[in-house]
Structure 1
Amino acid sequence: MLEIAAYGLAIVLNLFIIFIGTRFLLAPTVAAAGYGVPSTFNAYLTVKGVRDTTYGLVGLALLAFAGATAGAWFMLVVALAPLGDTVIVLRNGGTRATAFGIHFATAVTVLISAALLFTL
């Protein structure tokens, strides 16, 4: 049961970041507003889309081909991205609700995923 929860959470998180990355590629202005800091700099939003999509694909590949320990280390390191996003939103006029309710909560969830994967 723990294995299902650990892999399930990690897969959902990786699929979710692929969705977010794709959203930044297809609808950058809308995605930026959801991020918490509206922007019209499409080149930067496209970079974020590529970054997020890549993170999700690498995470899925590690889970599929390298196993739980590699996936756990990946999740541990990649938690830096939503932690950084928290700071970015706060420093650029975004709301505390968005910074903590979305980005910081995501970082905590990713760290929980890493901890679950490390137990396998």
Structure 2
Amino acid sequence: MLTTVAYGLAIVLNLMCLLIGARFLLVPRAAATAYGVPAKEDSAYLTIKGLRDGTYGLVGLALLAFVGAHAEAWFMLIVALLPLGDTLIVLRNGGPKAAAFGIHFATAVLVLISAALLFAL
């Protein structure tokens, strides 16, 4: 049961990274608004964010598939820094606290839970 939950959560989180990355590439302004800091124009930074998030999703899935749970756990532990940083970015730029804590901080907590579950295997 623990294995199913650990792998399932890791897969869902990695797929969400792919989805978020795709959204920033396809509809960058809407994605930036949902992020918590609306963009005034489509900029290279929105494309960079899309590529970053999509790449993290792919790397996470590859680690899980080809290396194993322990490597994925370390990856998740390190990747948790990104949504924590996103929380601070939203707060520093006057974005809604609901987005900062309800989206980004909550994501960091989920990623840390995923890492803990994977380490427990």
Task: Please tell me the root mean square deviation across aligned C-alpha atoms, in Å.
Answer: 0.5
Q: How many pairs are equivalent?
A: 120
| Structure 1: segments with no counterpart, 5+ residues | none
> How does 1:31-70 map onto structure 2 within 5 Å?
31-39=31-39, 40-70=41-71
Distance 1:80 1:60 in 2: 18
2-structure distance, mates of 1:42, 1:70: 34
Inter-partner Cα distance in structure 2 for 1:29 and 1:114? 31
Task: Identify the residue that residue 24 of structure 1 maps to in structure 2.
Answer: 24
Q: How many angstroms apart in 1 are the aligned matches of 2:31 and 2:93?
A: 16
The amino acid across from 1:86 in the alignment is T
The whole-number CA distance in structure 1 between the counterparts of 2:109 and 2:103 is 10
Normalising to structure 1: TM-score of the pair?
A: 0.99
Runs ≥4 residues deviating over 2 A: none
Alpha-carbon distance between aligned partners in 1 of 2:69 and 2:44, rounded to the nearest angstrom? 35
Work out the CA distance in 2 between the residues paired with 1:116 and 1:13.
13
Q: Output one character per residue of 1:54-73: Cα deviation in whole Å (capped at 9) or x when no partner.
A: 00000000000000000000
Identity of aligned residues (%): 74
Give the distance between the partners of 1:42 and 1:20, measured in 2 at CA: 16
Q: Distance in 1 between matches of 2:42 and 2:84?
A: 22
Q: Structure 2 unaligned segments of length 5 or more: list them.
A: none
